[in-house]
Amino acid sequence: PVGYVRIEGDDPIEANYFIDVLEPYRSALKELDKFSHVMIFWWAHEMDKEEYRNVDDWAIDVPYAEGAPTTGIFATRAEYRPNPMGLTTCGILDVDNKKGIIKIEGIDAFNGTPVFDLKAYFPICDRVRDCHIAPWLKDWPEYLEDGIIWWQKQGFFEEET
């Protein structure tokens, strides 16, 4: 890995999220602070188990989309996969090149998750104009920034009182 996810705090809404970049890769952070977002490629190490990686049928009942048909794993964002890689685009709050710390807005990975690559988010390369999704996801928010509030309403996070 080039680094690890670090999460400070138990409440996913209030926690602080960081990527701690290992010393040999810190020079690779140069100019990352000029970007608003970074794509973080990570390994779902807690799902890297033989029983999750070697199954006979990769079609699943999607747990996060009511009314979804049985769906092939490649048409989901499920964490159990033949190779449990994760990808999250995160807002950059701060970059400390010397210490190798990227403060990010949040990530759907666990504390201690290995990070195996980082790429600056380039709209020309990473955004598409005419995108469509499966009908059973039609009620999901369109933008990442709206996702936390939506997930709260689904009961994924406890709402703040």
Residue type, 161: T
Q: Residue 64 and residue 78: Cα distance in Å, rounded?
A: 9
Sign of CA dihedral 117, 121, 122, 126: positive
Sign of CA dihedral 64, 88, 135, 137: positive
**Strand ranges inside 32-159, DSSP E:** 37-43, 59-61, 70-72, 85-96, 101-104, 114-120
Q: Which CATH class is domain 3-123?
A: mainly beta
Question: According to the model, what pLDDT value does residue 148 have?
Answer: 67
Q: Residue 161 and residue 151: Cα distance in Å, rounded?
A: 16
pLDDT digits (tens), the chain, 161 positions: 999 999 999 888 889 999 999 999 999 999 999 999 999 999 999 888 888 888 889 998 887 777 889 999 899 888 888 999 999 999 999 999 999 999 999 898 999 999 999 999 999 898 888 888 888 888 888 887 777 677 777 766 554 43
Tens of pLDDT, residues 54-94 = 888 999 888 777 788 999 989 988 888 899 999 999 999 99
Both tokens assigned to 15: 């926690």
Both tokens assigned to 26: 């810190």
Q: Residue 84 and residue 124: Cα distance in Å, rounded?
A: 27
| pTM recorded for the entire structure | 0.86
Query: Which SS3 state, helix, strand or coil, does residue 105 take?
Result: coil
